[in-house]
Chains A and B, each alone.
Chain A
């Protein structure tokens, strides 16, 4: 089945530690996204990538980093500079188009907590 796989489902981080969240898709989508969801909040865009080896900052990129070395993969690193990393992280992908937005397909998320 085509889809987006995020791992791990739950992740714990110690203070001052970097952690990397995995996101893999087999939908052959060009564009990939990372969002953060906090309780009672909508999804906020962290980073997005339209094509391999290219990515742009979203609305809340500080304290995060990404890479896009392969079309299928878009890992997110939560660095020690992110002061409030506890949240539910969602990865998404969509087909790239010049005409109009294509629906984004989401993974099931990774819940990150601080020990």
Chain B
């Protein structure tokens, strides 16, 4: 049972345009969401996060939007650059016994930004 879903395995956009990566979740206990970027043969790198008490968080070219009622979040990259080409993972966390948080990851979306 996949609790975090990234339904688009891949996305291709033109340099300078907007990239929109989508993520849906089913567990209403999730209260914190993160996006990670991963290049081949490397570990994921944290990109941006959002708490469930907010609906938007912005950091430079990256903005994450959260729609709690729809259990949907999206990552917007504007403008897209060739160096943004990577796999993007959506992750969600819920308090899991005690004080620490486990992350549940989606399967990832491969973004290709064409020059």
Contacts and interface: CB of A to CB of B under 8 A. Distances in A.
Contacts of B107: 40-42
A104 B100 contact: no
Given A101-B34, A101-B93, A108 B4 contact: no
A102 B46 CA distance: 10
B102 A4 contact: no
A68 interface: no
Central interface residue in B46, B98, B101, B108, by most chain A CB within 10 Å: B101
A10 to B, nearest CB: 10
B108 A42 contact: yes
Contacts of B49: 101, 103
A109 B49 CA distance: 23
B105 interface: yes
B103 interface: yes
Given A40-B9, A101-B32, A101-B93, A108 B102 contact: no
B85 interface: no
Contacts of A104: 46, 103
Interface residues of A, number: 31
B43 A90 contact: yes
Sorting the interface of chain B by its residue count into under 10, 10 to 19, 20 to 34 or 35 or more gives 20 to 34
B42 interface: yes
A58 interface: yes
B89 A42 contact: yes
Contact of A106 (B4, B43, B93): B43
A31 B44 CA distance: 17
B43 A45 contact: no
A100 B101 contact: yes
Interface of A: 4, 6, 31, 33, 35, 40-45, 48, 50, 56, 58, 90, 92, 96-98, 100-109, 111
15 contacts: A4-B43, A6-B43, A35-B105, A41-B107, A50-B100, A90-B43, A92-B43, A100-B32, A100-B51, A101-B101, A103-B46, A106-B44, A106-B45, A108-B43, A109-B43
